[in-house]
A and B are shown apart, each in its own frame.
Chain A
Amino acid sequence: MAALTDLGIAAIRDGVRDGAFTAREVAEQFVARVAAARPLNAFITETPEHALAAADAADKARAAGTLAPLSGVPIGMKDLFCTAGVRSTAASAMLGDFVPPYESTVSEKLWAAGAGMLGKLNLDQFAMGSSNETSAFGNVVSPWRRNDGGNAALTPGGSSGGSAAAVAARLCPAATGTDTGGSIRQPAAFTGISGIKPTYGRCSRWGIVAFASSLDQAGAMARDVRDCALMLQAMSGFDPKDATSLDLPVPDWEAGLSADLRGKRVGIPREYRVDDMPAEIDALWRQGAAWLKDAGAEVVEVSLPHTRYALPAYYIVAPAEASSNLARYDGVRYGLRDLPEGAGLQDMYAATRAAGFGAEVKRRILIGTYVLSAGFYDAYYTQAQKIRALIARDFEQAWASCDLLLTPTAPSAAFALGERSADPIAMYLNDVFTVPSSLAGLPAMSVPGGLDGQGLPLGLQLIGRPLDEQTVLNAGLAIEARAGFGERPSDWW
């Protein structure tokens, strides 16, 4: 029998249900594999007891005939979700010892669906970063390596880098992620897995450490499209505790899965054809279009004219919100407090925030503070909001001629750790394809399309109409079936 850790959510669920193995056996194998993969630094906190308890509950539920949708499935939880009684750090020194007395809505829903938690996954600090190098707990190392024989440590992407690395390395069958400007999709692409960010408002933000409230959205990361659908289904749903949560029923996305795209029109946005795009990525993009055509879709070229302004607008709006959202970390009530001898309140603020925030977080707080200040607000924040409205309108107009969009997920494959950390702009450019759909709050997904010449995964992004996760998932399924992406990193660690 193959290792149980090679199984995805659906296979584990079905196996537990059919008695092929017990949930306990599944959890034990994953717990052991997590422990053996510590060199990847994917987990900040391991919680084997949580996974094993959920597994035992699942085995009891099976005996009682009360299995829930994710009974017996041990997952990884991005450490941006607050989990009751379990340290929740946002990969920061500020919350390095913070143990919340409450459970985020999304994690609560997953536990209610029968899932267990293997641990809290590493990420870029406060979800700010695209390489996982801003984590106060050290960066995650991607399980993937280039095929050049060198052992350069690669980034798993970010900010959900721990989630991506853990799923790719078979440390968990699925993980939660959060996506503000591409934080689920880019790491999914870098690590050869699938990841979906639903429509803004599908998943409650309650209990997720906030980065940029108008953009933050939880989502699912797994090894295939079906598992993403299953996971997302369990995470979604109206939450009266989040005023931006959508009060709509959650469709049965798994039941609606179909790779038959007849009658669907796929838009190829011409503005995403950026100048220095690697030929391999361009080729994969064309291949993706051909696969969707093969699945019955019609492929049309569309225009999203304001695309080039999306990245600058995002790097105004997101830091502006972050500068305000992170003001609560002041050393007064919880988290880190640095109170120098004889210090007053202002000194305590300064010392605490100097010690508790990393360089990238400080950079974004400063940018955000600047763009909101008197005299600059209109030139930056107001302009950025206008661009945001124009970008949303671009998409609305595109929906007149297509049902979904196909683009590359990222402009490159995974890069080496340290390669871009000195140049924040080069780092921000990673998000060029993922940011526009975030600004518009649209559902978007990355699925693996193939490997580049260095043997590293490349992803394709599908962007859908508001609330139309189903079409996004179905197109993902069509690509998955045709790409036949079966590669996995070797267990070198």
Chain B
Amino acid sequence: MTTSSYRIQGATGEWEVVIGLEVHAQITSNAKLFSGAATAFGAEPNTQVSLVDAAMPGMLPVPNRECIRQAVRTGMAIEAEINRWSRFDRKNYFYADLPQGYQISQLYHPLVGEGSIAIEPAEGEEKVVGIERIHVEQDAGKLMHDQHPTRSYVDLNRSGVALMEIVSRPDMRSPAEAGAYVRKLRSILRYVGSCDGNMEEGSMRADVNVSVRRPGEEFGTRTETKNVNSVRFVMAAIEHEARRQVDVLESGGRIVQETRLFDPDRGETRSMRSKEDAHDYRYFPDPDLLPLELDEAFIAECRASLPELPDTKRARYRDVLGITAYNAAVLTAEVETARWFERLLAACGDRVTPKAASNWVISDLFGALHRIGKDIDASPVGPEQGAELLALVADGTLSGTLAKQVFEIMLETGDDPAKIVAERGMKQTSDTGAIDAVIADVLTANADKVAQYRDGKEALFGFFVGQTMKAMAGKANPQVVNAQLKKALG
């Protein structure tokens, strides 16, 4: 593992920050972890609740196979140990959003054991972050305090929804590394399809463990900042919390092991619960559930259903398809982008090189999408249309300039490029007769510049090209224009 150079400058010297993350990721599934109730986000309160989720007397949990499958596939995607035998435990505590009075989780025997994730922070070196475990557990409901002046209401829609808790090793040493880790994890989850990674809707949130130490010394006491729900906030929370800890230590104080909250409005963390009010969760094996035993057929199906993952795909783009390292990284970071790009490649066939296609996606397509504020999935130009446009460039029908114009029209009208070219006569011309006629006009109109050029001011060549192209409304083949101009200018 490489060492990060990120340091906090304190009054008494440098400090290093040590970060571990527990990411809660909602498993993509139509039903909850132990009940058949639906899991749609944003539904009316208490409309996604079964008798089991409301913990009615005599109700029993039954594990949802799909949720287990998704967690196993996620484990495989981070090359983790898959435990053939795991078990559910009850975490006991009272709260109004927890109908059973306990959360079904996995303390002692998690479904997924040790794995790892390679990250590449924006500033800093590539490194591998260890994953300690992934376990599955139930989400709680939600209290609503804004419905009545003196009473709180409970919404159980989320109660019992399946979560994966992905626990990292304390391997990160800077906010940037933590940010890169969350982004990479999110990317993997979305590739696998086990979590939509939507942090705004709460499908993914992080508990951030932070401690500080003098570089190279033992770990310090850590605090845990709960439920941080964006990459930016994760980084801000670490930055603030590390700085706070340094200030406490340097003023002779002691760090208290405690649970803290991140306040995004003020950009700071504050104490939520100290160790004194810490719960004794009285974990014990859930007697309503048998241990989870996975057979080889199930494991094999999980493995076979895994898609090509971002790291592998990125290497293939670079090494096999000949795409630049930068383009390969950008195109594989999000599963939607990679999917769109691969449909584009498939439609291009042999007509366009992958490299040319990648350049077009990253400059022209991304530029346009950014301008109109749309995601790639909502692009007004589909990959098949994009391929047709690129093919017209490759076969010389369109010049680069014409192609950009055609693309703009495609974005506006949704029409196919061939249709646009035909209807608007935007086809590039290589007809030397026509080009020579225009060149003659241009040279006649600029006799003074021709004289200067012939006296050695060769930089004027570009001017003649521009004038010729302009006179031909951009439809002339630039190579032919160049060649004919050279001839005409002698």
Report A's interface with B, CB cutoff 8 A. Answer: 81-82, 88, 90, 95, 98, 100-102, 104, 205-210, 212-214, 240-244, 320-321, 323-324, 326-328, 330, 332-334, 345-346, 349, 369, 372-374, 377, 381
Contacts and interface: CB of A to CB of B under 8 A. Distances in A.
B51 interface: yes
A98 B283 CA distance: 29
A63 B313 CA distance: 72
Interface of B: 51, 54-63, 90, 92, 94-96, 99-102, 152, 154, 280, 282-284, 287-290
A82 B286 CA distance: 22
Contact of A206 (B59, B99, B283): B59
B284 A324 contact: yes
Given A95-B57, A209-B57, A334-B56, A328 B62 contact: no
B56 to A, nearest CB: 7
A324 B92 contact: yes
Contacts of B56: 82, 100, 102, 333-334
A279 B340 CA distance: 86
B58 A324 contact: no
A208 B154 CA distance: 26
B60 A369 contact: no
Contact of B60 (A81, A88, A241): A241
A206 B288 contact: no
Contacts of A81: 58
B57 A321 contact: no
A212 B288 CA distance: 9
A98 B57 CA distance: 10
Given A100-B57, A328-B57, A328-B99, A320 B284 contact: yes
Nearest to B102: A324
A238 to B, nearest CB: 12
A327 B96 CA distance: 11
B60 A327 contact: no
A305 B154 CA distance: 52
Contact of B284 (A104, A242, A243, A372): A372
Contact of B58 (A82, A101, A326, A333): A82
Contacts of B288: 210, 213, 243-244
Contact of B101 (A214, A241, A328): A328
Contact of B61 (A88, A212, A243, A333): A243
A207 B58 contact: yes
B96 A321 contact: no
Given A206-B60, A241-B60, A373-B280, 8 more contacts: A95-B57, A101-B51, A206-B59, A214-B287, A240-B62, A242-B62, A330-B96, A372-B92
A237 to B, nearest CB: 15
B58 A327 contact: no
Nearest to B279: A374
- The dominant DSSP class at the A interface is loop
A240 B102 CA distance: 23
B280 to A, nearest CB: 5
Q: Among the interface residues A209, A321, A328, which one has the most CB atoms of the partner chain B within 10 A? A: A328
Nearest to B63: A243
A168 B193 CA distance: 60
Contacts of A206: 58-60
Nearest to B88: A243
Nearest to A350: B94
Contacts of B102: 324, 327
B90 A324 contact: yes
A205 B287 contact: no
14 contacts: A98-B57, A104-B58, A206-B58, A206-B59, A207-B59, A213-B287, A243-B290, A324-B92, A327-B92, A328-B55, A328-B101, A332-B154, A345-B152, A374-B280
Contacts of B154: 332-333
Contacts of B284: 320, 324, 372, 377, 381
Contacts of B282: 323-324, 369, 372-374, 377
A243 to B, nearest CB: 5
B94 A102 contact: no
A324 B282 CA distance: 9
Given A102-B51, A324-B101, A373-B280, A330 B60 contact: no
Nearest to B95: A345
A286 B96 CA distance: 56
A179 to B, nearest CB: 16
A208 B56 CA distance: 10
B237 to A, nearest CB: 28
